[in-house]
Structure 1
Amino acid sequence: MSASNQNFASDNVVGASPEILAAVAAANGGAQASYGADEYSRRVENKLRDVFETDLDVLLVATGSAANALSLAAMTPPWGGVLCHEESHISNDECGAPEFYSGGRLLVLGGAGAKLDPVALKTHSLAKIGDVHCTQPTCVGISQVTELGTVYSLAELRAIGAVCRERKFRLHMDGARFANALAALGCTPAEMTWKSGVDVLSFGATKNGALAAEAIVVFDRSLTEELAYRRKRGGHLLSKMRLIAAQMDAYLADDLWLHNARHANAMARRLADGLRGVPGIVVHDGCDANILFCTLPQSINDGLHAQGFHFYGDRWGPGVVRLVTSFATQAADVDAFIAAARSLSSS
């Protein structure tokens, strides 16, 4: 077994889908207009309009951090604040990029399973509205899938969207694992986004098979012009944008994005089911997509690492580890992890 097949640390550790690599190679030949005026970018925009069943605008970027930070900056004035969960990626893993690009602040809230509670959100958003001395909440940021592997239900999304409409907040969705969430819910992309009140989506592809390709999907098109200038000013308008667009074009072709996500989710379920039968291991609830948390005895933790398995721990509490599956994870990889854990448990 290769080292990569033993790596459950993240869905970032694997390479790209062969279909996407082939698409980049094909797009590399000949000449195309630069800075997003190429045929691939136009095709991606049309495909995403079909996927989401509405008119929208698309701005391609290379990283999720860029997609999130630029989107939030367009929604947040320097005196504004982004209401988000304390466990969210934008709060803990963006090195302050949302604040850097917007000049505003992140206003963090709690909530079970790393999900914002609509009732708490409504209560908090009343605090000091209109008080010139205080940061003013102007938008809400949610992660779908969350950092704890949970997925907002449609009812939860609609409830948050209703609070945003009532408070005149805009709503941003960090969809780094958007396809995994969609596969988990079994709904339509439209239902999970603009029909629930989402104004801008960071539509992720990198974690699910792309080389480096993310899309800012703009449902509130009044934000598009500002986003375009912010993308250029922030250094994220690539001159050879066709090589980003070709990745997204292949990602959307023949439902590759959904196939990859469904496979990753199925591997996580297989892993969770197998580990539940290992004495001493506690599998946590909330494995909604492709992220699994469990508590391992230290002997099993150490033994798995010694055998070359990779995964993260320590951040979430004593003995708690995170296991992530991807489109490239195979059933044999999962079964090898479970067998190793069972052997360590019995010894």
Structure 2
Amino acid sequence: MRFLSDNAATVHPRVWEALRLADGVDTPYDGDHYSQRLDEAFGELFGREVAVLWVATGTAANCLALSAMVPPHGGVVCHEEAHIEMDEGGAPGFYLHGAKLMLAQGEGAKLTPDAIRAVIDPIRDDVHQVQPHAISVTQASEYGRAYRPEELNAIGAFAQERGLGLHVDGARFGNAVAFLGCSPAEAVGPAQALSFGCVKNGAMNAEAIVFFDPALADSVRYRRKRAGHLQSKGRFLAAQLLAMLEGDLWLENARAANAAAQAIVAEASERLLHPVEANEVFMRLTPPEREALREQGYHFYDWGENAARLVASWDSDQEAARALGQAIASL
């Protein structure tokens, strides 16, 4: 009955098995045969040449990816609710050595070319103002909204026109793909880099930075070491990522989480604050109503004065999700 966060979910048994199998003598750091297979495995998933680096956290994945695109004197355009702005404790400024986040607005925590244009067009092209160097979008967004392929293509075309890099924070990338029913390549669009989330989706402590411009990975290998993320037993991270890809476990888990979210929605859709397009549900709930649900044993986060965020996970019990929806409907 816990719907606090998909970070609180259990590790998938197939990931545990992959960790056990990786527990043998192998080359340290990223020289092991698991790490050496990542480029090919993710290349098959996206249908193109990629370079893939593992890290332990989504924060590191986002910030290291952006560090390849943005100099210390530059800026990153992102939504004002983006994870890199609201929930990463200043890590972008740390990893990017002072680069600025340029905040845009947009319905459902999603960016559009017009929203980006509104932020960067007033900037003078001179040394007295920070110049934009990249755009970062979140797929699915912080309000659980999925970018359609045509939306990403439009942002990508704008980025190319302005000479900007494009990064996708894919902490819940699997949930977006599961909802859209499109290919992973379509769901990432023309991005140069993707933070491919696994920890929220059944892994233990492994995330992938997927570079669609493999040359960008070259400097990040050094940055990863300097940042303290080049783990000596990297095979255990790589083994998790390969296990998530094998048999499309990443997509299977995401579909299960999305289904549990929809089970909540089916019973109490009139309270929705945002359309549910992934595994996050935002609902109108007053403080007394939230307390009544907690007294029944449900766990979730408050989201402002009269709202709550309910997050389903790959291992959420469908009947518990349905019961939560019914409990909300009966308030």
Q: 1:64 aligns with which of 58, 61, 77?
A: 58
Task: Give deviations 1:245-284, integer Å, cap 9, x for gaps.
Answer: 11111111111111000111111111111123xxxx6122
| Aligned residue number for residue 180 of structure 1 | 175
Question: Which whole-Å CA distance do the structure 1 matches of 2:115 and 2:316 have between them?
Answer: 38
Question: Which whole-Å CA distance do the structure 2 matches of 1:34 and 1:145 have between them?
Answer: 34
Matches within 5 A, 1:171-320: 171-193=166-188, 196-276=189-269, 282-315=271-304, 318-320=305-307
| Aligned residue number for residue 3 of structure 1 | none
Q: What SS does the aligned partner of 2:315 have? A: coil
- Confirm or deny that 1:147 pairs with 2:139: no
Question: Which whole-Å CA distance do the structure 2 matches of 1:97 and 1:124 have between them?
Answer: 22
Q: What SS does the aligned partner of 1:100 have? A: helix
The answer to whether the Cα contact below 8 Å between 1:148 and 1:291 also exists between their aligned partners in 2 is yes
Question: Which whole-Å CA distance do the structure 1 matches of 2:131 and 2:205 have between them?
Answer: 34
Task: Give deviations 1:152-203, integer Å, cap 9, x for gaps.
Answer: 111111111011000000000000011101111111111222xx32000001
5+ long unaligned stretches in structure 2: none
The answer to whether the Cα contact below 8 Å between 1:60 and 1:215 also exists between their aligned partners in 2 is yes
Query: Identity of counterpart residues, as a percentage?
Result: 45
Equivalenced residue count is: 330
Q: 1:39 aligns with which of 33, 44, 56?
A: 33
| Aligned residue number for residue 317 of structure 2 | 330
Task: Give deviations 1:200-252, integer Å, cap 9, x for gaps.
Answer: 00011000000011011011122111111100111111110000011111111
| Aligned residue number for residue 327 of structure 2 | 340
Deviation, structure 1 residue 49: 0.5
Compute the TM-score of the two structures, normalised by the length of structure 1: 0.92
Question: Which whole-Å CA distance do the structure 1 matches of 2:308 and 2:219 have between them?
Answer: 41
Question: Which whole-Å CA distance do the structure 2 matches of 1:340 and 1:148 have between them?
Answer: 22
Q: What SS does the aligned partner of 2:229 have? A: coil
Question: Which whole-Å CA distance do the structure 2 matches of 1:224 and 1:130 have between them?
Answer: 29
The answer to whether the Cα contact below 8 Å between 1:11 and 1:324 also exists between their aligned partners in 2 is yes
Structure 1 stretch 306-315 or stretch 203-212: which is displaced more?
306-315
Question: Which whole-Å CA distance do the structure 2 matches of 1:309 and 1:114 have between them?
Answer: 26
Structure 2 vs 1, CA of residues 124 and 297 (structure 1 numbering), >3 Å: closer, same or farther? Answer: closer
Deviation, structure 1 residue 129: 4.5
Compute the TM-score of the two structures, normalised by the length of structure 2: 0.97
* Letter matched to residue 122 of structure 2: A
Question: Which whole-Å CA distance do the structure 1 matches of 2:297 and 2:192 have between them?
Answer: 43
Question: Which whole-Å CA distance do the structure 2 matches of 1:180 and 1:11 have between them?
Answer: 11
Question: Which whole-Å CA distance do the structure 1 matches of 2:162 and 2:120 have between them?
Answer: 8
Task: Give deviations 1:118-150, integer Å, cap 9, x for gaps.
Answer: 112124322334211001100001100111111
- RMSD across aligned positions (CA): 1.3
Q: 1:17 aligns with which of 3, 12, 31?
A: 12
Q: What SS does the aligned partner of 1:141 have? A: strand
Question: Which whole-Å CA distance do the structure 2 matches of 1:225 and 1:271 have between them?
Answer: 44
Deviation, structure 1 residue 342: 4.3
5+ long unaligned stretches in structure 1: 1-5
* Letter matched to residue 236 of structure 2: L
Structure 2 vs 1, CA of residues 23 and 166 (structure 1 numbering), >3 Å: closer, same or farther? Answer: same
Structure 2 vs 1, CA of residues 129 and 53 (structure 1 numbering), >3 Å: closer, same or farther? Answer: farther
The answer to whether the Cα contact below 8 Å between 2:176 and 2:187 also exists between their aligned partners in 1 is no
